[in-house]
Amino acid sequence: MSTSSDEGTRTTSSTTNEKRYKGIRCRRWGKWVSEIRVPGSQERLWLGTYSTPEGAAMAHDVACYSLRGGVSLHKLNFPSMLPPTARTDLSPRSIQKAASDAGMAMDARFITSRENASNNEALNVSVDDYL
């Protein structure tokens, strides 16, 4: 998602996140999606739609590890955060479920974190702000 202007090309935040995290992309309406190619075939596994780029990236990590094993650790977005559900002996359907569960958990964590941050900002208002 690059936009052109008279000064040159500028990058939007969704492009920055797409380059920061592997295996994700942003839909035009702002949701983040993830899918992965199954090794040795042209088949793709749909991993889901997420509210945050971090959620989509975590889903990609779980699927990547489950499909490729330990050799994929250097290619993951969050290698130290792999959940115990990320195993290499799962069927494609089980990989989708494990990836979706991990992505949704990451989404919830980031959304809660944002809400708490905005609530803390609201609580930091003093009487002096209104005088």
Secondary structure in 3-state letters for 4-31 = EECCEEEECHHHHHHHHCCCEEECCCCC
Residue with structure tokens 């992309």?
Answer: 25
Higher pLDDT, 55 or 126: 55
Cβ atoms of 101 and 85 closer than 8 Å: yes
Token pair recorded at residue 116: 């708490």
pTM of the complete model: 0.75
Higher pLDDT, 94 or 131: 94
Read off the pLDDT of residues 64-88 as tens digits, 9 standing for 90 and up: 999 999 899 999 999 999 988 789 9
The Cα 120–Cα 114 span in angstroms is: 10
Residue with structure tokens 């042209």?
Answer: 42
The Cα 33–Cα 6 span in angstroms is: 31
